Structure 1
Amino acid sequence: MPTSPDPAALYPEIAAFGSLAAALRAAAEGCLGAVPVTSPDSGPLIAATVASTVPHREPLRISAYRYERRWSIRGTEPFQRMALVDGDTDDLAEVARAARAWHDGTALDDIRRAAPFTHLTGRYEIPDHDPVRLVASEWRHLRQEAGELDYSWQPAYRALIEAAYTEPALRALYPFTSHWSLRFSTATRPSLAIVGPCLTAYGEGTYGVASLMAGEPDRFATAREAVAAAVRRLPPGLGPVTLGG
Structure 2
Amino acid sequence: MIIKIERYRVYLLLLLIYLVFFLPNNLDISDTILSTEPIAQQRVIVIDPGHGGIDGGTSYLGILEKDINLAVGLKLRDYLERNSNTRVIMTREKDISLDHLNQYSSSRHTRDLRARLDIINQDGVDLFISLHVDHRIGQTWQQGATALYYPRHRQNKIIAEVVQKHLNQLEYQGVRKKQHQIKKRSDLYILKAKENPGILIELGFITNKEDRDLLQQAAYQKLLVEAIYQGIEEYFSSFQFLDEE
Q: Compute the TM-score of the two structures, normalised by the length of structure 1.
A: 0.23
**Bigger relative contact order (CA 8 A; separation at least 6):** 2
